[in-house]
Chains A and B, each alone.
Chain A
Amino acid sequence: GAVVSQHPSWVICKSGTSVKIECRSLDFQATTMFWYRQFPKQSLMLMATSNEGSKATYEQGVEKDKFLINHASLTLSTLTVTSAHPEDSSFYICSARSLGGEETQYFGPGTRLLVL
């Protein structure tokens, strides 16, 4: 089956620093990648949709200057949390949809971010 990886799996950083999270589709090409965040015991909230070679589409209430998304290739999307604050601490999960446009999304294992 399709495999999506995320790196790092967890990160602790100081308030004010920026953190980059990578999402890679390992065995398929992904025209579209999605970024979600999940608070403890909550559902996944879609943050943005990332299409290869174009600007990301952000959901209402998500600051695009705060959460920078780059989708430079068909196998890699990055999410950078800029000037992180403790309230940005969360579980960030990416997913990818294959080039064939199938409805199924394949999810990465998630990245746990803790901002001190």
Chain B
Amino acid sequence: SQQGEEDPQALSIQEGENATMNCSYKTSINNLQWYRQNSGRGLVHLILIRSNEREKHSGRLRVTLDTSKKSSSLLITASRAADTASYFCAGPKGGSQGNLIFGKGTKLSVKP
């Protein structure tokens, strides 16, 4: 079963615009992680946000977490063509540390 569901499934924007992706999850978690995957490649860890955190920043990335709504968002500011990739949220299976369960991902396309 999936822990995370991303929304939208696909997003196309112009370079310089901001991109927002959302993730909803089912069971209680102690952390949620966001990953990026370029086509046909492995996953790159972007950011981990813990259940006691509401917002976290890393460069042009901003992640929020609302545990009451069981949702998280990833904001990429001032997007670049190189940001074109699929973005996944992942939560621990069964709410505990260890196995990650991934959502279907949001495919982001940034046009130059």
Contacts and interface: CB of A to CB of B under 8 A. Distances in A.
Given A43-B88, A110-B41, 8 more contacts: A34-B99, A44-B43, A46-B101, A49-B98, A95-B100, A107-B35, A107-B45, A109-B42
Interface residues of B, number: 24
A112 B40 CA distance: 8
A32 B88 contact: no
Given A32-B98, A34-B100, A105-B100, A46 B42 contact: no
Interface residues of A, number: 23
Interface of A: 4, 6, 32, 34, 42-44, 46, 49, 91, 93, 95, 97, 101, 103-110, 112
B60 to A, nearest CB: 18
Interface of B: 2, 30-31, 33, 35, 40-45, 48, 88, 92-93, 97-105
